[in-house]
Amino acid sequence: DVKVTQSSRYLVKRTGEKVFLECVQDMDHENMFWYRQDPGLGLRLIYFSYDVKMKEKGDIPEGYSVSREKKERFSLILESASTNQTSMYLCASATTGVGNTIYFGEGSWLTVV
Amino acid sequence: AQKVTQAQTEISVVEKEDVTLDCVYETRDTTYYLFWYKQPPSGELVFLIRRNSFDEQNEISGRYSWNFQKSTSSFNFTITASQVVDSAVYFCALKGGMRFGAGTRLTVKP
């Protein structure tokens, strides 16, 4: 079974803090994604990566950056957390190919106070 | 532009009722894939089905069935004889652009 693991399930951070959300997948997938989920807005794509050290902006990249130094790990970074970044963050991975299923982690609930 | 619309925000049914979740999509791609995912209260998204744009045959899996109609750009999901365990948020997705709909929260009451 594919496993996508997000390091933190629940986090509370202060405004202005730098926040790291870590994601690891164990199936050698080329593609990895970060989404945020907000009520009424569904899942919105923040960034995705199709290879090590490669990244592409999604629909809402502002305020975020990512890092992919190793194939299995994809990190989401909030350089200076703000209250409007309070959300559920979902990491996902998939093999290459437009039809391949995306596998999701359990999600990380981030609250910025 | 790629877009997925799930017009139903919330649906509530009584157990054993049939329920249909609507999904309408927009894409200029000629080849694309559509997905349905289930998100139970635990939060993790669970893959339900994938359908490619060349296959309009409807699919049935137990109590679940999917109706793909390219002419109306719709990919609707029906649960027959709903059960309390079906309560979840359901997302329709267009993989070509990795776009998801806003989700439909289904509540099945005993």
For the stretch A56-66, pLDDT in tens is 898 899 999 99
Closest CA relative to residue A51, chosen from A65, A22, A35, A72: A72
Interchain CB contact of B67 with A (< 8 Å): no
Chain A residues lying within 8 Å of B44, measured CB to CB: 104-107
More confident residue, B23 or B42: B23
Interchain CB contact of A35 with B (< 8 Å): yes
Shortest Cα–Cα distance, A108 to chain B (Å): 9
For the stretch A19-33, pLDDT in tens is 999 999 998 888 899
What's the CA angle centered on A92, arms A22 and B23, to 5 degrees? Answer: 145
B101 has pLDDT over 80:
yes
Which residues are bridge partners to B107 per DSSP?
A: B12
Interchain CB contact of A101 with B (< 8 Å): yes
Interchain CB contact of A100 with B (< 8 Å): yes
Beta-carbon contacts of A99 under 8 Å, excluding residues fewer than 6 positions away, are: B33, B50, B52, B95
The answer to whether the Cβ–Cβ distance between B100 and A35 falls below 8 Å is yes
Closest CA relative to residue B21, chosen from B103, B97, B109, B93: B103
Interchain CB contact of B55 with A (< 8 Å): no
Q: Tell me the CA end-to-end span of chain B in Å, nearest whole number.
A: 41
Chain B residues lying within 8 Å of A104, measured CB to CB: 37, 44-45
Radius of gyration of chain B (CA): 13
Interchain CB contact of B92 with A (< 8 Å): no
Cβ pairs A/B, distance under 8 A: 51
Mean pLDDT by 10 residues, chain A (113 residues): 86 96 93 91 90 89 96 96 96 78 90 97
**pLDDT at residue number B46:** 87
CA distance A88 to B56: 34
Amino acid in the structure at residue A87: S
Q: What is the sign, positive or negative, of the torsion defined by CA atoms of B70, B93, A42, A54? A: negative
Beta-carbon contacts of A47 under 8 Å, excluding residues fewer than 6 positions away, are: A33, A34, A55, A56, A57, A58, A61, A64, A65, A66, A76
CB atoms inside a 10 Å sphere around CB B14: 11
Count CA atoms closer than 13 A to B69's CA, side-chain side: 9
